[in-house]
């Protein structure tokens, strides 16, 4: 599982940074968290394929998190999309999208499904063979949700040369992945561990969206392999962070420590700061494995 940062700024573009959006790749599928202004341009720039995208999650209705969504929805239709698209967002956004399509007399060329997020509660939104996505409420100036995505394991990893050596037919491979032994026609039992190795372990990534410093959602992200947490401000501006329902880099690191995560990604920087390494330095005093996200970069979960 990898995450590509498409935007990491808390305001309109400044100093080359774009509003919030990030794409998570799971087994070739793409999940989009938030869709700030210019997201489709960033997707094209950084090689994120909308044809592999079925699910979009919008944390809340501040413009830097969803202004790019109407354009992306329309562009996918113009470019020939036929596969369904599922959008999970605050309920008010559905009416806005419908109104935009109505005044433009636009009919999308693909099935469009809107799922309103439940206010003040967590919810399992997606659960398929590849991954699951859960929402959880955070504390912002307006209703806002974070999301936890879990990359599921496909079972044990096959060793093709060993499978051929032991004359195992291809139709049995899926059963090998689930740990079964294979019995040949002559009665000889091929042990599973001879032809497979341990597969990749499940991975969890928490996107914590916009929030004031609070431990209210720790239970939902506890033990995640990587978390992304906003740090709109540095600690010297903590009064502004509290007043505007945002967090500082130090506070983000405190959440990472409480959540017992392995890696912390920082983003959503206020455009007032030019030197982003200051955020890393501040957070590292509390939580050592911290990364200041860079637009266009991929991060392994």
Closest CA to 232 of 217, 215, 244, 218: 244
In the numeric block, which tokens belong to residue 255? 């959440």
**Cα–Cα dist 76/90, whole Å:** 22
Going by C-alpha positions, the residue among 234, 200, 263, 259 that lies closest to residue 3 is 263
Cα separation of the two ends of the chain: 6
> What is the C-alpha separation between 48 and 44, in angstroms, rounded?
6
* Rg over CA atoms, the chain: 22
- The helix or strand, by DSSP H or E, that contains position 220, with its residue range, turns out to be helix 218-221
Q: Is 129 a catalytic residue?
A: no
Residue 245 region, left (φ>0) first, then alpha (ψ -120 to 50), else beta? left
In sequence order, what are the residues at sequence separation of 6 or more whose Cβ sits closer than 8 angstroms to the Cβ of residue 177?
154, 155, 156, 157, 158, 196, 199
Buried b (16+ CB within 10 A) or exposed e, 191-210: ebeebbeeeeeebbbbbbbb
Residue 186 tokens, joined = 């002559």
Of the candidates 64, 181, 210, 215, the residue annotated as catalytic is 64
Spatial CB neighbours of 228, under 8 Å, sequence gap ≥ 6: 3, 22, 205, 206, 207, 208, 264, 265, 266, 267, 293
User: Any idea which residues carry the catalytic annotation?
Assistant: 64
């Amino acid at each position: 599982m990898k995450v590509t940062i498409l935007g990491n700024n808390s305001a309109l573009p400044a100093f080359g940074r774009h509003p919030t959006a990030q794409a998570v790749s799971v087994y070739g599928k793409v999940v989009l968290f938030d869709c700030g202004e210019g997201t489709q341009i960033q997707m094209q720039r950084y090689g994120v394929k909308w044809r592999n995208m079925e699910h979009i999650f919008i944390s809340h209705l501040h413009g830097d998190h969803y202004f790019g969504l109407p354009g992306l929805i329309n562009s996918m239709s113009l470019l020939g999309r036929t596969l369904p698209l599922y959008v999970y967002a605050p309920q008010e956004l559905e009416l806005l999208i419908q109104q935009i399509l109505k005044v433009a007399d636009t009919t999308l060329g693909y099935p469009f499904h809107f799922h309103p997020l439940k206010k003040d509660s967590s919810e399992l939104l997606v659960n398929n063979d590849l991954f699951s996505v859960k929402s959880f409420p955070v504390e912002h100036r307006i209703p806002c949700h974070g999301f936890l995505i879990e990359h599921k394991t496909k079972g044990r990893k096959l060793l093709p040369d060993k499978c051929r050596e032991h004359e195992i037919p291809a139709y049995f491979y899926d059963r090998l992945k689930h740990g079964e032994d294979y019995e040949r026609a002559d009665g000889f039992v091929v042990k599973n561990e001879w032809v497979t190795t341990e597969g990749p372990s499940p991975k969890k990534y928490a996107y914590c969206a916009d929030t004031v410093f609070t431990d209210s959602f720790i239970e939902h992200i506890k033990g995640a392999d990587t978390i992304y947490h906003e740090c709109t401000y540095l600690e010297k501006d903590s009064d502004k962070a509290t007043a505007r329902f945002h967090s500082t880099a130090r506070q983000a690191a405190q959440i990472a420590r409480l959540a017992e995560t392995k890696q912390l990604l920082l983003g959503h920087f206020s455009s007032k700061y030019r030197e982003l390494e200051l955020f890393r330095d501040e957070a590292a005093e509390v939580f050592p494995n911290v990364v200041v996200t860079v637009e266009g970069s991929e991060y392994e979960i």
